Amino acid sequence: MKITKIHDLYFKEFVSKNEIDSIVNELAVQIKSDLPENEVPLFIGILNGCFVFAADFVRAYKGDCEISFVKLASYNGTSSTDKVKKLIGVNEDLEGRTVVILEDVIDTGTTLQEIYEIFKTKKLKELKIATLFFKPDVYRKELPINYVGKSIPDSFIVGYGLDYNSYGRNLPAVYQLTTQPKMKNIVLFGPPGAGKGTQATILKEKYNLVHISTGDVFRYNIKNETELGVLAKKYIDAGELVPDEVTISMLKDEVEKNAGVEGFIFDGFPRTESQAIALEEFLAEKGEGINGMVALEVHEDILVERIIERGKTSGRSDDTDEGKIRNRFNEYNTKTAILKDFYHEKGNYHGIDGVGSVEEITDRLSDIFDKL
Ligand code: AMP
């Protein structure tokens, strides 16, 4: 779940593209099955918002149908107004037809009522209403809505055809208005031994952020022989990842312990796609998000040598044996490296060359931190 900025406002993902797809498919199947066998319905989309929904809907509708559009404008900024503009209408002869009105979202119902009244004068065989989203808390009309994709609370939504001041219609998912994020949250990324810990220690001071290293938290728990430590030890000793469930809940606890801070540097987390998704969802619940993933890019061969060198003094059980070290890289390459694509797709990946002196690398990282 990502926070996205449109104009001056912030939105968080509310209904994913996948969920929308299944809602639209269900609506199409249900409407088809409610109509007589050979009926050719005329779907009428209410522009502008419904153009994406209507396009997906008619392709999900398995049967002959027609589609047409009418236009009324009722939105101005983020609140629905009662001023309904003129209908730019349907010219087809509608007598004896089955018409299904397609709406993207119904809130007060004012626009819908007006359109409904116009269609009622057209001697139709039947008139039905289908809406992708419905806001029951603000609906003020008696008119029955035949098909509701999803009932939602009364908050402003954007995406999948719906706009905020004309922007956001092309977003594939639906987003909900949220508050401006206050934190700077950065995922410091890179293979084992890339220098994430060293850099995080410097950068947390420079940017007044809290550094959470999941590896350090595990090692602390192992040292103190806590329940979590006992559980994690066998994985860490073998150079394997600790199961997601355990790691995610531990990470959440660490974040909760630091309420009110300016932000976090996450080091060693997320390491799997489920961890990345869990982190986004968890932060989005707080109206926060990940500002970016900053990655130290270093070749594996250099790193194995570095880790063996570090193992002479670090006291880490997983730093000494080359087999264990190779296993950590194997875990990285098979489970963690894909996160580059995960953040890249969101335009949130920033890679830097991780070979150089500590100061050089801090400078390269700072250039990115400053922009995020
Ligand atoms: P690190 O100090 O980040 O290299 O982590 C050392 C070890 O702790 C890893 O090899 C894993 O066994 C475990 N670990 C740390 N972070 C995670 C994570 N996000 N998910 C699963 N295991 C982790």
Task: Please write the tens of the pLDDT for every residue from 177-227.
Answer: 988 889 999 999 999 999 999 999 999 999 999 999 999 999 999 999 999
Per DSSP, what are the bridge partners of residue 105?
133
- Class for the domain spanning 184-371: alpha beta
Instruction: Report CA torsion sign: 33, 34, 37, 42.
Output: negative
Residue nearest to atom 11 of ligand 1 (CA): 241
Q: Do domains 3-178 and 184-371 have the same CATH topology?
A: yes
Separation CA 317–CA 328 (nearest Å): 12
Residue 328 known to be catalytic = yes
Number of the ligand 1 atom closest to the C-alpha atom of 243: 21
Ligand 1 midpoint to CA 286 (Å): 25
Ligand 1 centroid vs 192 CA: distance in angstroms?
A: 9
pLDDT per residue over 50-89, tens digit each?
999 999 999 999 999 999 999 875 545 555 555 545 667 7
Work out which ligand 1 atom sits closest to the CA atom of 213: 3
- Any catalytic annotation for residue 364? no
> Which protein residues are within 6 Å of ligand 1, measured from CB?
192, 214-215, 218, 235-236, 239-242, 247, 268-269, 271, 275, 318, 328
Residue 234 has pLDDT above 70, yes or no: yes
Q: Which tokens belong to 130?
A: 């289908």
- Marked catalytic residue, from 2, 316, 335, 346: 316
CATH for the 3-178 domain, from 3.20.20.70, 2.30.110.10, 3.40.50.2020, 3.40.50.261:
3.40.50.2020
On average, the pLDDT of the chain sits at 92
Establish whether 271 is a catalytic residue: yes
Q: What's the rounded mean pLDDT across residues 251-269?
A: 96
Please write the tens of the pLDDT for every residue from 293-308.
999 999 988 998 889 8
Helix (H, G, I), strand (E, B) or coil at 285: helix
241 Cα to the center of ligand 1, angstroms? 6
Which pair of tokens denotes residue 67?
Answer: 């589609």
- Residue found under tokens 């009522």: 113
List the chain domain ranges.
3-178, 184-371
Q: Active site includes 316?
A: yes
Q: Which of 187, 201, 213, 214 to mutate to test the pocket of ligand 1 (most atoms within 8 A of CB)?
A: 214
Please state the φ and ψ torsions of residue 53, each to the nearest 5 degrees.
-55, -50
Distance CA 14, CA 135 (A): 14
Residue 113 has pLDDT above 80, yes or no: yes
Residue 326 phi, psi dihedral angles, 5° rounding: -60, -35
Atom of ligand 1 nearest to the CA of 239: 10
Rounded to the nearest angstrom, the distance between the alpha carbon of 243 and the centre of ligand 1 is 10
Quick one: pLDDT at residue 84? 45
Retrieve residue 107's tokens.
Answer: 């809130």
* Shortest-distance Cα residue to atom 5 of ligand 1: 215
Could you read off the pLDDT of 332-370 as tens digits, one per residue? 999 999 999 999 988 899 999 999 999 999 999 999 999
Q: Looking at ligand 1, which atom is closest to the CA of residue 328? A: 10
